[in-house]
Amino acid sequence: MAKREYAFYPGCSSQLRGSAANYLVSVNSMCDKLDVKMTQIPDWNCCGASISYAGSSELARHVLSARNFALSDKHLPGQDIVATCAACWLGGRETIEKLDASSQLLADTNEALKEAGLEYKSGTAIRHMVEVLVEDLGYEELGKPVVKPLDGVKVAGYVGCQTNRPFGIAGESFENPLYLDKLIETVGGEALSKYEEKVSCCGGSLAFCEPEKAEKQIKNIVESAYDQGADVICTPCPLCQANVEVYQSEINRKQGTKLNMPVVYYSQLLSVAYGGTLKEAGLDGHIIQPKKLQDIAVKVVPAKR
């Protein structure tokens, strides 16, 4: 039996053929090594993200999150829900907060959910994967399975917005959260603590509809990593990862820059350090190749005596 068990809410982008498909792969491999069992919530639905406000009502968005909670409670009772996506986690946290504060909203949500034969009962906890790592397991425990320390890899920890604000990780500051740097150091990498764009916004979903404005953000995020001598940017958010990696070529095309900075997830760092292969760590899922990490992943570890 696994040491720890959670109800897993992977979110849309992590699905097979999705833009963060390699995130899910690396999370699975990381959890495997940490003896953490994640069971997907059966028939989970989209959280509505932060962008659906024009098309939807506030209540409809709560219904989306509450349906996932109800399904989790029904099929995986007693387990905390773990989200890997920043927006999924944030949306869920907002729903819990609002429904706890208003019995009217709770009743309305349940009136709607009844149409799907479900009921949401208060008391659900939704947590980000990072919270599970740093709170439930702790840095010491996370360091134990390391077989390939990320020696000499300089990592710019890019926390971004939604795992940091408005809820954030307990005990961390909004302006300079340290958990990502600590995670990087736990697996032997060098955390660039002077990285200036740690909590800047990548433009989020507005990269789609206001690309020029988002590209200005992304350029700063990448250039600041270069300023610090980074080999790679690391983030806990699938949208940050996609935006910051994918649009570098567009910025190069428009502005004649030569940005070519790989962007990976914290789970990929951990997975590689725990001995995960290229595939297991999802390192075959990049447009800009994280060369240094790939080199470590293919390296054979001498067997322990």
Partner 1 sequence: MGDLNQQMLDKYRNNFLHEVEEKVDDGEWVKMCMQCGVCAGSCTFGPDWEHTPQKIFMMIRAGKREEVLSSHSMWLCTSCYNCMVRCPRELPITHIMHGLASYAHRLGLAPKNQPTRDFSLIFWENCTKTGRVNELRMTISVYFREGFVSGVKKMWTLRNIGRGLFFAKRLNPLELFVSHGCKDKDGLRRALKKADEIEARRRGYEVQPRGYSS
Is 205 a binder of partner 1 (CB under 8 A)? yes
Q: Which of 201, 226, 227, 228 binds partner 1 (CB under 8 A)?
A: 201
Residues 172-191 that bind partner 1 (CB under 8 A): 174
Between residues 34 and 237, which has the closer beta carbon with respect to partner 1?
A: 237
Is 294 a binder of partner 1 (CB under 8 A)? no
State how far the alpha carbon of 171 is from the alpha carbons of 56, 164, 168, in Å.
33, 11, 9
| Min separation Cβ 239 and partner 1, Å | 10
Q: Which of 4, 37, 39, 50 binds partner 1 (CB under 8 A)?
A: 50
Q: x-or-dash pattern for partner 1, window 57-96, by CB under 8 A?
A: xxxx-xxx--x-----------------------------
Taking contact as CB under 8 A, which single stretch among the options 45-53, 122-130, 181-189, 266-274 is the one that binds partner 1?
A: 45-53
Residues 7-26 that bind partner 1 (CB under 8 A): 12-13, 15-22
| Min separation Cβ 275 and partner 1, Å | 22
| Min separation Cβ 91 and partner 1, Å | 10
Question: What is the Cβ-side half-sphere exposure of residue 110, based on CA atoms within 13 angstroms?
Answer: 12
Q: x-or-dash pattern for partner 1, window 215-254, by CB under 8 A?
A: --x------------------------x---xx-xx----
Concatenating the DSSP letter of every residue in the chain gives --SEEEEEE--GGGSTTSTTHHHHHHHHHHHHHTTEEEEEPTT-----TTTTTTTS-HHHHHHHHHHHHHHHHHHSTTPPEEE-SHHHHHHHHHHHHHHHH-HHHHHHHHHHHGGGT----S---EEEHHHIIIIIIHHHHHHTT-SS--TT-EEEE---STTTSSS-STT--SSS--HHHHHHHHTT-EE-TT-TTTT----TTHHHHSHHHHHHHHHHHHHHHHHTT-SEEEES-HHHHHHHHHTHHHHHHHH-------EEEHHHHHHHHTT--TTTTTTTS-SS--HHHHHHHHSPPPPP-
Taking contact as CB under 8 A, which single stretch among the options 26-34, 111-119, 179-187, 268-276 is the one that binds partner 1?
A: 111-119
Q: Which of 30, 36, 96, 113 binds partner 1 (CB under 8 A)?
A: 113
| Min separation Cβ 199 and partner 1, Å | 8
Between residues 275 and 282, which has the closer beta carbon with respect to partner 1?
A: 282
263-285 burial: b if 16+ Cβ within 10 Å, else e: bbbbbbbbbbbbbbeeebbbbeb
Q: Which of 92, 177, 203, 290 binds partner 1 (CB under 8 A)?
A: 203
172/201 Cα distance (integer angstroms): 18
Taking contact as CB under 8 A, which single stretch among the options 38-46, 73-81, 182-190, 224-232 is the one that binds partner 1?
A: 38-46
Task: Tell me which residues touch partner 1 (CB under 8 A).
Answer: 12-13, 15-22, 43-46, 48-60, 62-64, 67, 108-109, 111-118, 161-162, 165-166, 168, 174, 200-201, 203-206, 208-210, 213-214, 217, 242, 246-247, 249-250, 284-287
